[in-house]
Amino acid sequence: MAKTEMTKRDKEVSDKLQNVGTEILKQVNKGEGPTYQLPVRTLNNVFFDQKSKTIKLGDKMSQRQFLNVAHSRKFMQTILVAAEIRKVIDEQATVSIRDLYYALKHTIAGTDENTFEEQGESDPVIEDIEASLDLLREELHLAASAKGIIAGDLKIKDGKDMIDLTKMGSGGWSVPSNVEPDKLEIKDLDAEYVLFIEKEAVWRRFNEDQYWKKEKCIILTGKGQPGRGERRLAQRLSKEHKLPIYVLTDADPWGMYIYSVIKQGSISLSYSEEKLATPDAKFLGLTTMDVEKFKIPKEVTIKLNAEDTGRLKEMSAYEWFKNKEWQKEFQNMKDKNYKLELEALSRKGIRFITETYVPEKIKNKDFLP
Amino acid sequence: MAKTEMTKRDKEVSDKLQNVGTEILKQVNKGEGPTYQLPVRTLNNVFFDQKSKTIKLGDKMSQRQFLNVAHSRKFMQTILVAAEIRKVIDEQATVSIRDLYYALKHTIAGTDENTFEEQGESDPVIEDIEASLDLLREELHLAASAKGIIAGDLKIKDGKDMIDLTKMGSGGWSVPSNVEPDKLEIKDLDAEYVLFIEKEAVWRRFNEDQYWKKEKCIILTGKGQPGRGERRLAQRLSKEHKLPIYVLTDADPWGMYIYSVIKQGSISLSYSEEKLATPDAKFLGLTTMDVEKFKIPKEVTIKLNAEDTGRLKEMSAYEWFKNKEWQKEFQNMKDKNYKLELEALSRKGIRFITETYVPEKIKNKDFLP
């Protein structure tokens, strides 16, 4: 097929990758052992940055040396991955990280050694390149798994297509993995906030009731722990368009952790979180405090198990949860010894969640920080 | 919100549900112990129907009697579920099966007994109602989890929205769980076949290359084992619009089982398979026979593990796989002792799958039945 023209950003990224090779070539020509510098990505170099309010990678660096036997395999892999990514960008394609692994897997001529034995070897090398060049995976034309759905009063310009998110019927638009500004333009936005919903089934309830139309908002789900696309899209709606982001999850440590990742980011992606996290997001619910507030019958709550209590304890100790509002909620969950799911609200009526619960929480600004 | 008007089908379904209650009331008025008849859903009442070429439920029936202590809890649950579903239809809503469970969970007045203890109790009752009234879950306004994505040259009329599936950008339209004709109308279809792709990442590759435009087809993925929505949509495109359905999965027992479910259906949904399965579907690939045909390097194949070999043996014994073509492929997989993933084709080039592999298979009609 005809290749589309490279964007300015693609050219910059391609140049950065070429530079990796050029630098190494320089070292070789000078008679030096080739060395590649990269940030340390272990826990002791990860911190919560008070300024950006996101999880971030510190400035500890390490070196990968070709002439060090312990490094040479990884070194070879790093160069292979960087070269292949540059090829993918130049061909104006996008591939999955599994494609990349297979594309590069081969037996090195004259040996019985494979370049990669499993995808577990190529994935960390990709992360090294992202972190060392300060590039998003999407800018490297690597697709993450995409599972989110969105609807609401906005249009999205994606290539030649203008997609009207008010006209998606019962299905919704499937959020792609790359939502970077040079790929997706947000147009004709007429919404007052974003409702970021943990569960797809609950999103369907809001979509069926055309909640986004009635309440002038955007409804977005990441189906569980959201993917990069949904998180980056929420960040763009927050930062570029100043929309409040309200997160709606189960009242359990897992739902609240999903909120935490949307807001502050995760340790494993610390090197990209400034570009993925949405520090202005607010937690709408569900909370265990809502049980009494909304007179939810006890029968639909679920007793905490050992895993829940363990996770709850860990969460209470997170720096960003050390405010009195969250500590109060965690304490209440522990004291009452229950959690509850969003679907439990159905006990109060089919449309209780769309017609009463969420609108009241928003009206009363009853959020957790 | 304003309720939309009930469709003719909704009225029929609502009446069928009311009938359940009316019949029981008649029995009570006659002084009989209330009894509810339903088909046996165990394996010994499931068979492969040579006429419809789908897995089907046989005609063995069982009785659920209110005055039998062993049945009375289930009897009560059946009536509760039937009544709640009727309410959901009358309110013109759609709910998830988890919503339904929570909506009905309560402590019976004057006792400490709950109507349902867990969703594992309400789900089989829903299946009983589907099977005994010969209704699809979607007709009962119950939403299954939906995860599929579609793009191609057709329009879908969904409520008031006309959705143009040629203009979905890199995202695609998210397939809803209910794709019944009274809900979704297929319009302006201009395609020659449907490519039903197991993996979302591979679907993205085809979508990025606008394969559907070049090859005049529809591309659909169910992200692994497809949901009811994707399967029913494939059936509609096959039966109503006479499009060939080509299935593209990994060359392993799991991918081939996904094909089997698309084509013949599954045992667990035997009571609905005539409405979900697509007996005319054909298996495009990947096969282990393709390795030599397309000169795929051995490095990207994966050795079979014990689970694979066990599953392979089971599959070879399935009635519908007992043709020489499939037996040959199973034998080859066993002899070569390898499987391979769709992404392994990336070893032959980024666009090998979209520009060479699939077009050649289709041109040569190189399918398995």
Chain B residue with CA closest to A89: the answer is: B350
> Is B8 part of the contact surface with chain A (CB cutoff 8 Å)?
no
Q: Pick from B114, B159, B163: which is nearest to A299 by CB?
A: B114
Does B146 contact A178 at a Cβ distance shorter than 8 Å?
no
Mean pLDDT of A317-345: 97
Q: Is A304 helix (H, G, I), strand (E, B) or coil?
A: coil
Cα distance between residue A72 and residue A66, in whole Å: 5
CB atoms within 10 A of CB A193: 19
Q: In CATH, what number does B8-143 get?
A: 1.10.10.10
| Closest CA–CA distance from residue A337 to any residue of chain B (Å) | 18
pLDDT at A4 over 70: no
pLDDT digits (tens, 9 = 90+) for B259-314: 999 999 999 999 999 999 999 999 999 999 999 999 999 999 999 999 999 999 99
Listed residue (A104, A102, A95) closest to A140, CA to CA:
A95
Does B201 contact A96 at a Cβ distance shorter than 8 Å?
yes
What are the boundaries of each domain within chain A? Answer: 8-143, 149-363
Residue A145 confidence (pLDDT): 79
pLDDT confidence band for A144 (50 / 70 / 90): confident
To probe the interface with B, which of A350, A351, A354, A358 has the most B CB atoms within 10 Å?
Answer: A350
Does B158 contact A169 at a Cβ distance shorter than 8 Å?
yes
Residue B1 confidence (pLDDT): 42
What average pLDDT does the structure give for chain A? 95
Cα distance between residue A354 and residue A357, in whole Å: 7
Does A173 contact B176 at a Cβ distance shorter than 8 Å?
no
pLDDT digits (tens, 9 = 90+) for B334-358: 999 999 999 999 999 999 999 999 9
Residue B3 confidence (pLDDT): 53
> Is B353 part of the contact surface with chain A (CB cutoff 8 Å)?
no
Q: What is the ipTM of this complex?
A: 0.92
Residues with Cβ < 8 Å from A251, sequence gap 6 or more? Answer: A285, A286, A287, A288, A290, A333, A339, A340, A341
Quote the Cα angle for B103-B77-B41, to 5°: 115
Cα distance between residue B348 and residue A243, in whole Å: 45
- Residue A123: phi and psi, rounded to 5, are -60, -50
**Cα-based distances in Å from B172 to A83, A173, B163, B206:** 30, 6, 11, 11
| Closest CA–CA distance from residue B62 to any residue of chain A (Å) | 31
pLDDT at A133 over 80: yes
Residue A146 confidence (pLDDT): 81
Q: Pick left, alpha or beta for residue B172 (phi over 0 → left; psi -120 to 50 → alpha; otherwise beta).
A: left
Does A99 contact B346 at a Cβ distance shorter than 8 Å?
yes
Q: In CATH, what number does A149-363 get?
A: 3.40.1360.10
Residue type, B16: K
pLDDT at A349 over 90: yes
Chain B residue with CA closest to A170: the answer is: B176
> Is B73 part of the contact surface with chain A (CB cutoff 8 Å)?
no
- Share of residues in chain B with pLDDT > 90 (%): 96
For chain B, which ranges sit under pLDDT 70? 1-4
pLDDT digits (tens, 9 = 90+) for A47-78: 999 999 999 999 999 999 999 999 999 999 99
Residues in chain B with CB shorter than 8 Å from the CB of A93 are 205, 208-209, 350-351
Residue A6 confidence (pLDDT): 87
Residue B2 confidence (pLDDT): 42
pLDDT at A149 over 60: yes
Cα distance between residue B104 and residue B120, in whole Å: 13
Q: At what angle do helices B200-208 and A97-104 cross, to 10 degrees?
A: 90
Listed residue (B157, B225, B153, B219) closest to B190, CA to CA:
B153
Cα distance between residue B297 and residue B347, in whole Å: 8
